[in-house]
Amino acid sequence: MAPAQPKGARIVGPWARLKLAWVLTLNAAYDARRLWKHSYLTGIKGRETLRSRMHMTGHFLEYGLSMRSPRAGFGKDRVALLCDDLGSYARHYGWDATCEIMLRTLEAYRDFNAGAGQDIAALDQELGQIAALRDWQGAPLRGGTETVTREEIQRRGKIDFLDFAEARHSIRRFAPGPVAPDKIDRAVRAAQMTPSSCNRQTCRVWIWTEPEAVQRVLAMQSGNRNFGHEVSGVAIVASDLTHWYEVEERYQGWVDAGMFAMSLALGLHAEGLGAVMLNWGEEYPQDQALRELTGIPESALVAVMIGFGNLPETLTVPVSQRGPLDTCLTMNLPLKG
Ligand SMILES: Cc1cc2nc3c(=O)[nH]c(=O)nc-3n(C[C@H](O)[C@H](O)[C@H](O)COP(=O)(O)O)c2cc1C
């Protein structure tokens, strides 16, 4: 007869269960409290929450404009909200990249409606008043829609991605020496292209490359004990909780940050560097200790660290064999009813 439990299975007694449940509750409360405090579940709280709402509204307009047949005059309520938010944001906090992008988006919306024969005089006047607040010396930023072609998408996207993915390994041996800063910049720029919920771009990354700082950050993390001393750079990837506004979004930050982290790891791979994800599956006291060391704010939901560095000539990596495709993929599962 087969044993009821596989050998070595953890049998947890009633007191241990109670303790585990308590620890789980404390940790869940820690996450919930930070979401409550920093998100705008209960309303706009300041600069970042207002910025988030502007990005969401701007996204709604761009999205609408990109449909096959946008309806002339769609989304008037959102346009009014965005004009209000943009004006008050610029007056309170000054003109920044968010303002620039939102003004471009509103101009694109106005131009579309002018082309569709709508009366845009009031909006045009409002945009004129907002534009008077404009103070922008940075690189040009765009908003609205653009036309792209299949030829361009396919030409620029044409890499053997399966081969690229198969050539990536979690690297735990590194060649000594610093990583070229432009490679880090390019990898982060690629990670910034990761999709994010309503284009809110909630992800933040803190990177250390100075050897002593790298080691101090790595000392907080438990999964690098036998190789951390070889790592040349460490990144902490987080999602900014100030961007979330509904209870149903409570796990969205983990999704955004996980996707961003993967893009960053692939970006480092594309730059010819080695990288390894380093889990941040920690209980709240350790999470607080990391913030104390680094100054990363409580509003940042830390999801994962990434260690990286230059690749040695040859190295040994685990095979990490993936299962057959059917252990992962189910196609066309018959639907019920
Ligand atoms: C969220 C996450 C956390 C991870 N944490 C660690 C870690 O702390 N230390 C480590 O050496 N590897 C870590 N890894 C790497 C995995 O062990 C590795 O991705 C897996 O074994 C597959 O190997 P491969 O990446 O070489 O394909 C982590 C991976 C992920 C996705």
250, burial (CB in 10 Å: exposed 0-12, middle 13-18, buried 19+): middle
Identify which of 284, 202, 186 has the alpha carbon closest to the alpha carbon of residue 238: 202
pLDDT in tens, 137-172: 999 999 999 999 999 999 999 999 999 999 999 999
Residues with CB under 6 A from ligand 1: 169-170, 172, 223-224, 276-279, 304, 317, 320
Averaged over 53-70, what is the pLDDT? Answer: 97
CA of 278 to the centre of ligand 1 (A): 6
Residue with CA nearest ligand 1 atom 15: 277
| DSSP-H helix ranges across 39-137 | 47-65, 76-93, 97-115, 121-131
pLDDT of residue 6: 76
Averaged over 80-107, what is the pLDDT? Answer: 98
Averaged over 212-230, what is the pLDDT? Answer: 97
CA of 204 to the centre of ligand 1 (A): 20
Mutate to test the pocket of ligand 1, among 168, 278, 321 (most ligand atoms within 8 A of CB): 278
Asked if residue 81 has pLDDT above 90, the reply is yes
* Residue 94 to residues 47, 187, 281, Cα–Cα distance (Å): 10, 30, 38
Asked if residue 5 has pLDDT above 90, the reply is no
> Residue 2: which pLDDT band, with cuts at 50, 70 and 90?
low
Residue with CA nearest ligand 1 atom 28: 277
Domain positions in the chain are 47-131, 160-310
pLDDT of residue 251: 95
Residue with CA nearest ligand 1 atom 2: 279
CA of 161 to the centre of ligand 1 (A): 20
Mutate to test the pocket of ligand 1, among 164, 166, 170 (most ligand atoms within 8 A of CB): 170
Please answer whether residues 49 and 40 qualify as being in contact, where contact means their C-beta atoms are separated by less than 8 angstroms. Answer: yes
Q: Which atom of ligand 1 is nearest to the CA of 262?
A: 31
* Residue 285 to residues 30, 37, 248, 290, 291, Cα–Cα distance (Å): 10, 18, 26, 9, 10
Contacts for 255 with CB less than 8 Å, ≥ 6 apart: 197
> Residue 3: which pLDDT band, with cuts at 50, 70 and 90?
low
Q: Which amino acid is at 235?
A: A
Asked if residue 7 has pLDDT above 90, the reply is no
Please answer whether residues 299 and 241 qualify as being in contact, where contact means their C-beta atoms are separated by less than 8 angstroms. Answer: yes
The structural architecture, per CATH, of the domain 160-310 is: 3-Layer(aba) Sandwich (3.40)
pLDDT in tens, 290-326: 999 999 999 999 999 999 999 999 999 999 999 999 9
Mutate to test the pocket of ligand 1, among 224, 262, 279 (most ligand atoms within 8 A of CB): 279
> Residue 1: which pLDDT band, with cuts at 50, 70 and 90?
low
In degrees, to the nearest 5, what angle opens at C-alpha 137 toward C-alphas 187 and 183? Answer: 15
Averaged over 90-97, what is the pLDDT? Answer: 97
